[in-house]
A and B are shown apart, each in its own frame.
Chain A
């Protein structure tokens, strides 16, 4: 139960990191453009992540999950849909949806895709049963998020 609470807090903290990232990437994009901002963020992110791997390994000389050879090739390609996100957002924000509408629909797409992939075990993730409570939580968070996005400052 406590392990699960830690996972929850980590996931929430991940959201905070994402906000900070968006904030800073938006500044970069204002000076340049969206694709360049994402390119630079990926380059620097790769460097930082590499440093993290080295630092973590130094702290723990034995790396446990070193069976990377068995991972299928497509496991390594998560960066491609991630990079596409930037390009598609740039197009969508400039459409009649505008920023708030784009974000609201992106959140909806994420949650619906999450539910569907949990249910069907898409991309070989473990299948999970979605309970009525899960749907209620997702519904509240999604509705609240859309209110925040559309509610203006």
Chain B
């Protein structure tokens, strides 16, 4: 239940950022998202008193914030243009496909058969509108010759 709720929270956050982006542009939407999130999490950390010891963290581990800033800008830009469902489906596709690719490179192994089937299914889903449009086009041109 919590995990499902989390998906809803993600969707809400992206929708709200997308709405802001239509008024202020995607980059400002990204700034507000991060500033508000930062202030909120600062409060959480202060209230919970759980500041971990971060002295031996490699600097490279902080690079995630940079990707995050770009991600929110990109997502806020496409969200109002594609709609909530399409944006969610496409971002998820990019996410899982790149995750499989990165795992492959890191471990230097082929993905498990179940994963390959998953990749095929995702790609099929993405191509489905094109495939059916193609088939429909073909059928339309074939119909006269069949008659």
Contacts and interface: CB of A to CB of B under 8 A. Distances in A.
Contacts of B102: 19, 23
A83 B45 CA distance: 12
Interface in A66-83: 66-68, 70-71, 74-83
A42 B12 contact: no
Nearest to A85: B9
A17 to B, nearest CB: 4
Interface size on A, as a range, is 35 or more
Interface residues of B, number: 110
Contact of B99 (A84, A136, A148): A148
A19 B98 CA distance: 7
Interface of B is mostly: helix
Interface of A is mostly: helix
Contacts of A68: 23-24, 28
Interface of A: 7-8, 10-25, 27-28, 31-33, 35-50, 52-53, 56, 63-68, 70-71, 74-89, 91-92, 95, 97, 101-115, 117-118, 122-126, 128, 130, 133-134, 136-153
Interface of B: 2-20, 22-25, 27-38, 40-42, 44-45, 48, 50-54, 56-58, 60-75, 77-78, 80-100, 102-103, 107, 109, 111-115, 117-126, 128-129, 132
